[in-house]
Amino acid sequence: MSFSNLGLSDKVLAAVAAAGYTSPTPIQEQAIPHVLARKDVLGIAQTGTGKTAAFVLPMLTMLEKGRARARMPRTLILEPTRELAAQVKEQFDKYGAGQKLTVALLIGGVSFGDQDTKLMRGVDVLIATPGRLLDHTERGGLLLTGVELLVIDEADRMLDMGFIPDIERVCKLVPFTRQTLFFTATMPSEIRRVTETFLHNPEKIEVSKPASTAVTVTQSQVACGREPHEKRETLRKLIRDATDLKNAIIFCNRKREVALLAKSLQKHGFSVGALHGDMDQTARTAALDQFRKGELPILVASDVAARGLDIPEVSHVFNFDVPHHPDDYVHRIGRTGRAGRLGTAVTIVAPADQKSMAAVEKLIGQQISRVDIGPIGSDAEAEPEAARPRRSSEQRHREPREAREPREHHREPREGHREPRGDRKPRREREAPRAAAPASVPSHASFGSAPPAREAVSEPGDHSHLPAFLLRPVRARV
């Protein structure tokens, strides 16, 4: 089937042909006719299947008639992250170049004043993240009573990020008679409850079973030790040994770990960028642009990038941490193997990650093959200081004393010499205090260097090493 059979307008068909697309994907083929028929749609499809175009193309056809009014958008699209919202706007700019439509983007990290100016002029398509959208409505600068079409994209990601209460508030602000398009990759019970509440007799389109992974992605898992430096060494070996690695995204569970791992890889000569939620919007956009252009072949990211990137030629995905939520695994590895290309996804599994990995295998319904990459060379001493995890006081307390004290302070007794029990003295007297330092400091006394070993050990009865005040005779009281 071709796009011309789906009921799209001539302007949209011309834009699609100019982009080089000839046939729709399964989700596009099934969803577009229902959207044009003004029906609610529940779309279940994994990432990389063309979900964005499945609602962008029919929306462009429907918006050719009508006019936008000030502060009252005609359509509303909700996205979980700034990157994904910006990606949808790029799709409208791409396919709607021949139409006079106004598209506004409401995301964090951008001035309220600029966004208010665009809303005042009137927008046909409003693309927003839930938090910034509600900020504008509470300020009185945005009315949702004119919304004809509501799109909720990546709903399961909204659930993970805690946006479901915000989604429910937005759904109560838009008209009851609006058309709703609901797209998700997985169907947890909470998402099912939302669809039953806010969708009216939806057309269910499922092009892949929930939580399934693309067949074009080769999945494997590699075991590593329990120490953090062992996991980093395993990752470096995987990157160096990959023969067909063009670029790669490395996912971590925590934002702090993203920064530390990026610094560690840079220390070892890799060209690396970082992306996580605590970065400002300018830095996030710059990192994504460099990765897209190939200036940074490796991107270390948190789950903010699991669904916010549209880069079809990502060759590898490395899970430095096994995700806490099994659903996130599906979205992470969905960054590779897109648009029919082959991809590779490797997960590093520490002993503490076995339970999480078992949950992932249960969710996707398949066993992930285990790969042995051979011995790992130890180069932990080359780790940057900031990349080494700091031990808490409780962890140091649990360690044996020998492990906490430097080895150079441990002195072995002289072989064959044993101090008579009767002549034993208190510890302070047996360990003689050091003599006063001379006026000229010897060369070995530089900061951080170890003192030279003693050349000779005093014989029993030789008191030349004791200070004079200890050699004075002591009168015993009678």
Q: Identify whether residues 123 and 253 lie together within a single domain.
A: no
Determine the pLDDT at residue 7. Answer: 94
The CATH number linked to 18 is 3.40.50.300
Residue 454 domain-assigned? no
Are 288 and 275 in contact, with CB atoms under 8 Å apart? yes
Of 103-112, 294-303, 307-316, least confident by mean pLDDT is: 307-316
Assess whether 233 and 200 both reside in one domain.
no
Within a domain: residue 240? Answer: yes
Report the chain's mean pLDDT, rounded to a whole number: 82
Both 315 and 202 in one domain: the answer is: no
Residue 250 lies in a domain: yes
Domain contains 85: yes
pLDDT range class, residue 446, cuts 50, 70, 90: very low
* CA-derived radius of gyration, the chain: 32
Does 473 reside within a domain? no
Residues 68 and 142 reside in one and the same domain: yes
Does 186 lie in the same domain as 121?
A: yes
Q: How far is residue 195's CA from residue 182's CA, in Å, rounded to a whole number? A: 8
Tokens for 175?
């008209």
Q: What percent of the chain has pLDDT over 70?
A: 79
Structure tokens that stand for 60 in this block = 């462009």
Task: Mark whether 194 and 303 lie in a shared domain.
Answer: no
Same domain, 100 and 243: no
What pLDDT, on the 0 to 100 scale, is given for residue 209?
64
Dihedral (Cα; 317, 228, 322, 215), 10-degree rounding: 30
- Name the nearest CA neighbour of 178 among 320, 38, 361, 371: 38
Secondary structure class of 140 (helix, strand, coil): coil
| Of the candidate ranges 111-115, 153-157, 366-370, 450-454, the one whose mean pLDDT is the lowest | 450-454
Q: Using 50, 70 and 90 to split pLDDT, how confident is the model at 83?
A: confident
Q: What is the mean pLDDT of residues 279-289?
A: 85
Q: Is residue 448 part of a domain?
A: no
| Confidence bin at 308 (pLDDT 50/70/90) | low
Greater confidence, 435 or 121?
121
CB 317 within 8 A of CB 332: yes
315-332 confidence digits (pLDDT tens): 999 999 999 888 889 889
> Based on the domain organization, do 289 and 327 belong to the same domain?
yes
Q: Indicate if 200 and 271 belong to the same structural domain.
A: no
Same domain, 266 and 343: yes
Q: What is the pLDDT of residue 352?
A: 93
Of 55-59, 65-69, 79-83, 419-423, where does mean pLDDT reach its minimum?
419-423
| Most confident of the ranges 358-372, 428-442, 461-475 | 358-372
Q: Measured between alpha carbons, how far is 43 from 55 in angstroms, rounded to an integer?
A: 10
**C-alpha 442: how far from its chain's center?**
52
- Look at residues 206, 232, 263 and tell me which one is the last residue of a structural domain: 206
Query: Of 367, 387, 407, which one is at a domain's C-terminal end?
Result: 387
Residue 241 lies in a domain: yes
Chain centroid offset of residue 317 CA: 11
Q: Are residues 259 and 367 in the same domain?
A: yes
Provide the pLDDT for residue 463. 64
Please tell me whether residues 257 and 276 are part of one structural domain: yes
For residues 243-254, average pLDDT:
93
Integer Cα distance of 211 and 208 in angstroms? 8
Query: Is 136 inside any structural domain?
Result: yes
- Answer with the residue of higher pLDDT: 78 or 422: 78
383-411 burial, b for 16+ CB within 10 Å, e for fewer?
beeebeeeeeeeeeeeeeeeeeeeeeeee
Out of 16-20, 170-174, 308-312, 329-333, pick the least confident.
Answer: 308-312
pLDDT of the residue at 379: 55
**pLDDT confidence of residue 469:** 73
pLDDT higher at 434 or 99: 99
Q: How many domains does the chain have?
A: 2
Q: Which of 387, 410, 444 represents a domain boundary (last residue)?
A: 387
Domain that holds residue 228: 217-387
pLDDT tens per residue across span 182-241: 998 878 889 999 999 999 999 999 886 666 787 889 999 999 998 989 999 999 999 999
pLDDT at 461: 59
Q: Which pLDDT band, with edges at 50, 70 and 90, does 66 fall under?
A: confident
Sheet holding 75-78, edge to edge: 103-106, 125-128, 75-78, 149-152, 179-184, 41-44, 203-206
Length of the chain: 478
- For residue range 336-387, list pLDDT tens digits in order: 987 778 999 999 999 999 999 999 999 888 999 999 988 876 554 444 444 4
pLDDT at 38 over 70: yes
Count the Cβ atoms, other than its own, within 10 Å of residue 279. 19
> CA torsion sign, 43 to 48 to 52 to 58?
negative
283-297 average pLDDT score: 89
